[in-house]
Amino acid sequence: MSDFNKILTPGDYNNGIVNVVVEIPEGSNHKIEWNRELAVFQLDRVEPEIFAKPTNYGFIPQTLDEDGDELDALIITDQPLTTGIFLEAKVIGVMKFVDDGEVDDKVVVVPADDRNTGDAIETLADLPKQLIKQIEFHFNHYKDLKKPGTTTVESWGDVEEAKKVIAESITRWNEM
């Protein structure tokens, strides 16, 4: 089997490590999405600048959330990441989220090898409380100018809850 036939896996989520593909850099108001059928990144829309992403945004490959898209990930780094790269990431929690009545959870991750922070972030509790508030505010309001009240952050879950969401999304992908 040649190296060209390899496929990016979800990673070793049981041990808290996942592969994540970056769609949207932190600070961008471009809604970039992976188009599974065409195997390319696509600009879906341009959001108002006030709703630029508070974190890098991406997905875990070979997963499928209840909304029919790959399982989303919020990637916490000190600088924006480029669309299209992937990284090994450490799972630190999950944001339980509903968008237009559909479950659209977001796994929260940090780089698995972050020598800048000394790998100090292990759980959501290690993040600044203000960052959690900003993320929650963003996702509760980013559609307000077009469709008010259609998004809701329901709760935050720990690493074990995130692993459960990932496992269910892998099962959904494999059954697709």
* pLDDT in the model for residue 5: 67
**Cα 16 to chain centroid, rounded:** 15
Q: Which residue has the tokens 């809701």?
A: 152
Q: Where are the domains of the chain?
A: 3-171
Distance CA 11, CA 164 (A): 14
CB contact at 8 A, 42 and 35? yes
Token pair recorded at residue 104: 């659209």
CATH code: domain 3-171 is 3.90.80.10
- The model's pTM: 0.94
Please state the residue numbers annotated as binding site.
31, 45, 57, 67, 72, 104, 142
Long-range contacts of the stretch 124-128 (C-beta < 8 A, 24+): 124/92, 124/93, 124/156, 124/158, 126/92, 127/76, 127/92
99 forms beta bridges with 102, 151
Closest CA to 157 of 104, 72, 96: 96
56 forms beta bridges with 75
Please state the residue numbers annotated as binding site for Mg(2+).
67, 72, 104
Please state the residue numbers annotated as binding site for substrate.
31, 45, 57, 142
Per-residue pLDDT tens, the chain, 176 aa: give them.
456 668 999 999 999 999 999 999 999 999 999 999 999 999 999 999 999 999 999 999 999 999 999 999 999 999 999 999 999 999 999 999 999 999 999 999 999 999 888 778 999 999 999 999 999 999 999 998 888 888 999 999 999 999 999 999 999 999 98
* pLDDT in the model for residue 2: 55
**Cα 122 to chain centroid, rounded:** 17
* pLDDT in the model for residue 119: 78
* pLDDT in the model for residue 145: 87
* pLDDT in the model for residue 149: 82
* pLDDT in the model for residue 91: 98
